[in-house]
Amino acid sequence: MLRACVLDFQGQWSKYLPLIEFSFNNSYQATIGMAPYEALYRRKCRSPVHWDESRQKSYSDQRRRMLEFSIGDQVFLKVAPMKGVMQFGKKGKLSPRYIGPFHITERIGGVAYRLDLPTSLAQVHNIFHVSMLRKYVANPSHILKKEPIELKANLSYEEIPVEILLREVKKLRNKDDALIKVQWRFHGRNEATWEPEEEIRVK
């Protein structure tokens, strides 16, 4: 929701956070059949705060992808690095990854699906919103490299640096700033990123 409205917030998203939280907590969730507020307090929320519904709907319509799967389809599951782990808070540092493919075994409501996960992912709940899935079309020519990603229960994983490819020193006015090019565990060399050397040493 923040991403959908960030252009209008003009860099002041923090003051809109309570409104975003209010809107989310009072939005209907198909997986539980009600809004989170109603599920927690057993009553609908009453508040004088109102959103410009037409503008919110236009944002949603622009970003919504009409995805639908059938039982037996193969899909990839979206996972992402843990926030704050070897990313240093920089947006777009490491793009989300997909694992799989997994077979769909059941459709839950209109926007959720149950996946046939392996025993190695037993700690992960096997029902996912459609936004976390990407369809895979089986092709015998595809060769998929299986990587042993240790997923947390919230579908996050820890990124670990495996190799330093390059080192450069940038001269600033008052000091020299050392940077190193790091290759990460679940990413190829073409996805290596430049990081401050001191921060990597501390982490």
What percentage of residues in the chain have a pLDDT greater than 70?
A: 70
Q: Are residues 153 and 85 in the same domain?
A: yes
Q: Are residues 123 and 171 in the same domain?
A: no
Q: Amino acid identity of 115?
A: L
* Residue at 68 is within a domain: no
Tokens in use for 35? 């809004």
pLDDT band at 86; cut points 50, 70, 90: very low
The values of phi and psi at residue 119, to 5°, are -65, -25
* Residue at 132 is within a domain: yes
Q: Are residues 141 and 174 in the same domain?
A: no
Does the pTM of the predicted model rise above 0.85?
no
Sign of torsion, CA 22 24 27 28?
Answer: negative
Q: Are residues 80 and 146 in the same domain?
A: yes
CA 115 – CA 190 distance, rounded (Å): 31
What domain count does the chain have? 3
Residue 24 burial class via C-beta count within 10 angstroms: exposed 0-12, middle 13-18, buried 19 and up: middle
Least confidently predicted of 13-27, 60-74, 135-149: 135-149
Q: Are residues 151 and 78 in the same domain?
A: yes
- What is the rounded average pLDDT for all residues in the chain? 75
* Residue at 69 is within a domain: no
Contacts with 103 (C-beta within 8 Å, 6 or more apart), sequence order: 72, 73, 74, 115, 116
Q: Is the pLDDT of residue 113 over 90?
A: yes
Tokens in use for 2? 């923040």
Q: Are residues 118 and 178 in the same domain?
A: no
pLDDT for residue 71 = 92
